[in-house]
Amino acid sequence: MNAPRLSALVVAHNEEARLADCLARLTFADELVMALDRCTDGSKDIALAHGARLVEGAWEMEGERRNAGIAACTGDWILEVDADEHVPPELAAEIRAIVAASTFDRHLIPVDNYIGVRLVRYGWGASFGKSAYPGLFRKGTKTWGKGRVHPALHLSGREGPPLRTRLAHYVDRDISDMLRRLDRYTSARAEDLREAGDPDPTARYVRRIFSRFYKCYVRRRGWREGSWGLLIAMLAGLYPILSHLKAKLDPAPPRNPPESG
């Protein structure tokens, strides 16, 4: 019986500054697939230099471009990472062992998030960062829903135990980078809300400022990170209300896909 094959998938829009470091750490996979969405920089040349098989297109929805990348993978298992994420050697070895022996259909990958060189482990979530994600899965068990940013996930099959080794996610360079990402993501989310009609009143979004802050700062222990945890909880709380107000008050912006992160 042949050993299960592993595809590594990276979906990117204009990621030439970070892409090479990401792809250089995926050589342990049997296949490297890159879905390039309207790239106008050197991302394509970098992907080709690393032996990637390309899927190119112009997808308005984040979920659509990720599904296109998944469909292009030929492996039995798929490892999905972003251009700002690095797979350390210990995690690569653990992934290969899981693929060879797992009887489950997907596994969560824990994540270490960095702001610049600062490791910020606690407090992420509520649409602003991730502490773990279902990044290793059998083909056919994971589908992304509609949405320009943070689309819903549809998962099938059995979830196995999470991996032990953490993925390194270089989420932002500094606080200004965090604020730019908040602006990009809320603009993309505002478009989704406009199209859906956004039935929720403003008062509900105001309440979510506090519920999301509590979720990140208290329940997810952001307080352990000091001022960084406070900042992340504040931005997580602002994400829904800013998206709502942009949908309600701003004109529709030009349609460009949000960057990874």
Write the pLDDT tens digit of every residue in 33-81: 999 999 999 999 999 999 999 999 999 899 999 999 999 999 999 999 9
What is d(CA 116, CA 169) in angstroms, rounded to the nearest whole number?
10
Q: Is the dihedral of CA 252, 255, 258, 259 positive or negative?
A: negative
CATH number for the domain formed by residue range(s) 6-172: 3.90.550.10
Q: Say whether 70 sits in a helix, a strand or coil.
A: helix
CB burial of 203-232 (b: ≥16 within 10 Å; e: otherwise) equals eebeebbeebbebbbeebebeebeebbbbb
What is d(CA 146, CA 29) in angstroms, rounded to the nearest whole number?
28
Between helices 202-214 and 227-249, what is the axis angle to 10°?
Answer: 160
| pLDDT tier, 20 (very low <50, low <70, confident <90, very high otherwise) | very high
List all residues 6 or more positions away from 149 whose beta carbon is below 8 Å from its beta carbon: 62, 185, 188, 189, 192, 258
- pTM score of the predicted model: 0.90
Find out whether 137 and 105 touch, Cβ atoms under 8 Å.
yes
Gap between the terminal Cα atoms of the chain: 39
DSSP 5-61: PEEEEEEESS-HHHHHHHHTT-TTSSEEEEEEES--SSHHHHHHHTTPEEEEE--SS
pLDDT in tens, 135-148: 999 999 999 998 88
What are the C-alpha distances in Å from 196 to residues 55, 63, 147, 192, 244? 29, 16, 10, 6, 12
Which pair of tokens denotes residue 71?
A: 């469909």
What is the percent of the chain where pLDDT is above 90?
86
Find out whether 14 and 184 touch, Cβ atoms under 8 Å.
no
Where, residue-wise, is CATH 3.90.550.10 in the chain? 6-172
Find out whether 235 and 125 touch, Cβ atoms under 8 Å.
no
| pLDDT tier, 129 (very low <50, low <70, confident <90, very high otherwise) | confident
C-alpha closest to that of 140 among 160, 151, 154: 154
pLDDT score at 125: 81
pLDDT in tens, 144-184: 998 888 889 999 999 999 999 999 999 999 999 999 999 99
C-alpha closest to that of 136 among 178, 179, 94: 94
What is the percent of the chain where pLDDT is above 70?
96
